[in-house]
Structure 1
Amino acid sequence: MNFGIAFFIGYRYWRVKKSNSFASFITFFAVSGIFLGVAALILVSSVMNGLEGNLKNKLLGTVPHVTVSTAKPMQDWKQKVKQVEQLSDVNTAIPSTSIQGMLQSSADLTAVQIFGVYPSDGNHIPTVSHNIYPGALSDLVSGKYRIILGQELARKLKVRIGDKIRLVSSKGVIYSPLGPVPSQRKFVVASVFETGSQVDANVAYIHYKDARRMMRRSPSKVSELRLFMKDPFYAPEIEPQLAPIFPEQKIQVTDWRQTYGSFFGAVRMENNMMSLMLSLIVLVAAFNIISALVMMVTDKTTDVAVLKTQGLSSSNVMAVFMVQGTFNAVIGLVGGLIVGVILSFNINSILNALGLSILGPGMALPVDLEWQRVITIAVGTLILSFVATIYPALQASKIEPANALRYE
């Protein structure tokens, strides 16, 4: 097969003005469909990746990635921390404790997750410690019974800094002649934190020793470690590596998936569904390429017959129309890639210029352009478009010169 001749003829067929205006109309929509589909795929996937990354940083920077708890206090817990931090996937480990309870103010009552931490460990939870106002994590002092609330939680309870709220927990329950009595104590709102995630509505922080007292356990003992992973999505792989570190007793390992796994699963499913829906635009455009090429083959039947009488092989004829269809796909693809990348980098500036705000006033869309996904979109579009040219080109190669030129 002489590809040079096939390429030249295919390029000439693509460049010259089409005699069939309807075929030109279909070709225009095929190119436009690929252009819009590729641009939309790049833009939407970049925004969805940005949203997922934003949630990963804000949400998973607040809650424990992995929690290791033991029934009895750990012996030499500082040594255990050093051993855990030596694991390749673990970034840091700190003593922690958690309480599921109820917070009651004069205005409302709501369920809450309480984390007991040492203020000195604030560097390990920067998402919270860097977004506390007007105070800091150091406002938590053992024995003062102070609490730091998420902004949305404080708004729901209608409390301000300095107000008192009651924490009621089933941990540390005692039994009296009147029945079980839950552990409860009044706390003073010391500060408020805001991460911009759903954690702001159901998480609060108190001093580690105060949390242990609420559970009616020794404040100086440690029976729970809070692990932060280098990548939170590798949390399930850490459990088998933790068992040898605690040979003296059975441990319970939980990770963020128990609480927020379904939330991230929904975000990822939405990302996949959006990509699938936009990919259908490219698929429809590919079908338009088939329609346009079928019309072109019908229009050029006589030309193909003449070329075959002059020695052009069937494989060359097939290549001619495949080249023509691929040219249309490449134009739409290149245009879509350029526009999609430009929009991804400038979407917030464009929305501001138009006076639009998708996430609310003052909030910008998080954008994370993954070049690997851009390459995948480009290669996938090229392959799909190339496959779409095979059938019309194959039909063109089957044209018999004798039958096509019988009445010429």
Structure 2
Amino acid sequence: MNPALSCFIGYRYWRARKSNAFASFITFFAVSGIFLGVAALIVVSSVMNGLEGQLKQRILGAIPQLTIHTAAPLSDWHQLETRLNALPGVKGVEPSIFTQAMVQSASNIQAVAVYGVFPETDKSLSPLAAHTFNEAFKLLKDSGYYVLLGNELAQRLSVVPGDKVRLLSGEGVVYSPFGPVPSQRTFTVAGVFEMGSQVDANVAYLHYSDARRLMRKTSADIEDLRVFLTDPFLAPELAQPVEQLLQDQGIDAKVSDWRDSYGHLFAAVKMEKNMMSLLLSLIIAVAAFNIVSALVMMVVDKTADVAVLKTQGLSPAAVMLVFISQGSMNALVGLILGLVVGVSATLYINPIMSAFGLHILGAGQQLPVMLDLGQLGLIAVGTVVLTLLATLYPAVRAAAVQPANALRYE
């Protein structure tokens, strides 16, 4: 068997003018289907990756990605910090505290999630400081009693930097003859931050010590550690090693991550991305079926040629390779065109949409795009495998041609 000879014959068949116009028509639509399917799959997958990446930055960058809550205050949290930083994927560790509270202004009251942080270390680990206006993040100091609000939350409360708000915490409740009295304290609005997500409407930040005092806890105690990760999606994988590390240190603690509060949102985004990829992959599958139809017609048209080739000594396997290579040529043309157009459209999708006056997210907003090379390779390999499988049936039929029967009336 000479594979080069079989591929050359298949190439000649592919280049030759088809005597069956209907077969040429089907071949054209098969190539077009692969081209459109691959291009659409690349563009849609890149946009969905961009959306997921934007949500990851805007939401998971502002909330704890992995949290350790100990049953008792840590005597030396720096020793645990050193061991945690040694784990792969850990970006940094800082003390933190969290509580649900109500924030009240002169005109409104809103529920809010309050995080106590150390601005000095949080600034280097979290993108929050970069999204805070007028460097208000620096005003969060011990005993300063400043609060940093999300932009949307500040608008709902009708407050601006310098205004006073009252925080009421459900933790630290005291009981009086008139019933339970929540812990409360007046804070000054240091400024606002804007992450461009739902975090802007329900999150507030205090200095760690001020948050502890609000909850009527000793400000020097550290019971919660906030672990920053290089990739927030590593949290499920790191939860087990962190728990094992805590057990080895004899620390009774509970480990939680961002999935407890925002897992449903990212699960929905992932499911939508997978469903869109599946639907667009069906376009490629339909195009592969068209390749089957076109090759079957080609086998019928070239039956006499196949019989002659077999009488000249071409083996059944070599005959199969002739038609496999011919079908692969169609797939290869569609794949290359789809990759070129898909990557180009992805890289320039926002200028292209602006040129046509299209604004999917509203005027002035651009589609987030993230081109994943690994995903491109998966699309290319999947397309090649699918089209190769589609060529097997026509190739087997061609290999089964009996020269005596085919040439009986020639």
TM-score normalised according to structure 1 size: 0.93
Partner of 1:4: 4
Structure 2 matches for 1:85-164, cutoff 5 A? 85-164=85-164
Q: For residue 278 of structure 2, what is the aligned residue in structure 1?
A: 276
Match of 2:319 in 1: 317
**Per-residue CA distance 1:158-198 (angstroms, 9 max, x = gap):** 33223333322211111122222222233222211011222
Aligned position for 1:258: 260
CA distance in 2, matches of 1:342, 1:35: 13
Displacement after TM superposition at 1:41 (Å):
1.7
CA distance in 2, matches of 1:10, 1:86: 57
CA pair 403-81 structure 1, distance change in 2 beyond 3 A: closer
Structure 1 gap segments, 5+ residues each? none
Does the Cα contact within 8 Å between 2:84 and 2:242 map onto a contact in 1? no
271-280 vs 234-243, greater mean Cα deviation = 234-243
Counterpart contact for 1:166–1:187, Cα < 8 Å: yes
In the TM superposition, 1:15-54 aligns within 5 A as 15-54=15-54
Alpha-carbon shift at residue 334 of structure 1 (Å): 0.9
CA distance change for structure 1 residues 244 and 311 in 2, over 3 Å: closer, same or farther?
Answer: closer
TM-aligned CA deviation for residue 59 of structure 1: 2.1
Letter in 2 for 1:8: F
| Aligned-partner residue type, residue 47 of structure 2 | V
Question: Aligned residue for 2:405?
Answer: 403
1:199 partner amino acid: V
Q: For the residues of structure 2 that align with 1:5 and 1:70, how far apart are their CA atoms? A: 72
Residue 206 of structure 1: how far off its partner (Å)? 1.2
Distance 1:362 1:145 in 2: 38
Deviations 1:138-165 (A, max 9, x none): 1223334221111122233333223333
Equivalent residue letter for 1:390: L
Offset at residue 368 of structure 1 (A): 2.1
Q: Which moves more between the two structures, 356-365 or 168-177?
A: 356-365
Quick one: distance in 2 between partners of 1:102 and 1:157? 11
The match for 1:192 is 192
Structure 2: runs of 5 or more not aligned: none
- Higher mean alpha-carbon deviation, 332-341 vs 293-302, is at 293-302
Residue 333, structure 1, aligned to residue 335, structure 2? yes
Distance 2:256 2:154 in 1: 28
SS of the equivalent of 1:27 reads helix
> Aligned to 1:389, what secondary structure does the other structure show?
helix
Q: In the TM superposition, what whole-angstrom CA distance separates every residue of 1:313-340 from its partner, at most 9, and x where no partner exists?
A: 3223222211111110010011111111
SS of the residue corresponding to residue 68 of structure 2 reads strand
Aligned residues of 1:61 and 1:125 also touching (Cα < 8 A)? no
For the residues of structure 2 that align with 1:192 and 1:124, how far apart are their CA atoms? 19
SS of the residue corresponding to residue 252 of structure 1 reads strand
Point out the more displaced range, 174-183 or 333-342: 174-183
Deviation at 1:245, TM superposition (A): 6.6
1:267 maps onto 2:275 in alignment = no
> Could you say which residue in structure 2 is the equivalent of 1:354?
356
Instruction: Confirm or deny: 8 A CA contact 1:62 1:125 kept in the other structure.
Output: no
Structure 2 residue identity aligned to 1:17? R
Distance 2:249 2:313 in 1: 80
- Is 2:324–2:395's contact at 8 Å kept on the other side of the alignment? yes
Instruction: Please give the alpha-carbon distance, in whole angstroms, between the structure 2 residues aligned to 1:399 and 1:178.
Output: 97
Give the Cα–Cα distance (whole angstroms) in 1 for the partners of residues 88 and 377 of structure 2: 31
Identity of aligned residues (%): 56
Farther-moved stretch of structure 1 (9-18 vs 151-160)? 151-160
Which amino acid is the alignment partner of residue 16 of structure 1?
A
Cα deviation 1:111-134 (Å, max 9, x = unaligned): 211111123223234411111113
Q: How many Å apart are 1:395 and its aligned residue?
A: 0.9
Q: What CA RMSD, in Å, does the superposition of the two structures yield over aligned residues?
A: 2.1
Q: Deviations over 1:38-76 (max 9, x none)?
A: 112222222222222222233222111222222332223
- 1:92 touches 1:124 (CA, 8 Å); kept in 2? no
**Retained in 1: the 8 A contact 2:94–2:227?**
yes
Q: 3-state DSSP class of the match of 2:282?
A: helix
Question: How many pairs were matched up?
Answer: 407
Aligned residue among 230, 235, 240 for 1:237: 240
Residue 77 of structure 2 corresponds to 77
Q: Deviation at 1:85?
A: 3.0
Aligned pair in 2 of structure 1 residues 307, 76: CA closer, same or farther (>3 Å)? closer
TM-score (normalised: structure 2): 0.92
Q: Deviations over 1:279-307 (max 9, x none)?
A: 11111110010011111112222332333
Match of 1:64 in 2: 64
